[in-house]
Amino acid sequence: MSPVIFLIQILKIILPIGVFMVSVIYSTTDTLETARTIARCLVTEKLVACVHILPKIESIYRWQGKIEEATEYVLLAKTMKRNIQQTIQRIRTLHPYEVPEILVLPAVGGLKEYLEYVDVETL
């Protein structure tokens, strides 16, 4: 067996399918209704496989020179790298904030079957 083929076989064992291809998009919004609207839209349009909505969090942040406080809801959307830009744009169109928090967090590992699920259930 050539060294290249051997290395490929080792990587297939070590790295689950989809590692670095699956990402979590993190966002926050003002109401549960808005969070649900965004989540349903993203899943319906197959931009993401799943969205978790976390209940009320307290945010303290600086905005336009002032310190603000707000109760928000967190969205954690699982998608493939190929869908990131389209998902970001879709969140922006649905989001009430002038500058919504949208962060992309690459998955560095995970259950192989779950990573495959994210791939199959998205565009």
Could you report the per-residue pLDDT of 27-83, keeping only the tens digit for each? 999 999 999 999 999 999 999 999 999 999 999 999 999 999 999 999 999 999 999
State the pLDDT confidence band at 2, using cuts at 50, 70 and 90: low
Q: Phi, psi (5° rounding) for residue 111?
A: -65, 125
Closest CA to 25 of 78, 74, 82, 72: 78
In this structure, what token pair is assigned to residue 48?
Answer: 């993401």
User: Distances from the Cα of 23 to the Cαs of 26, 84, 95, 100, in angstroms?
Assistant: 10, 8, 20, 18
The model carries a pTM of: 0.84
Could you report the per-residue pLDDT of 79-116, keeping only the tens digit for each? 999 999 999 999 999 999 999 999 999 998 889 999 99
pLDDT for position 23 = 97
- Which domains can be identified in the chain, with CATH numbers? 17-120 (3.30.70.120)
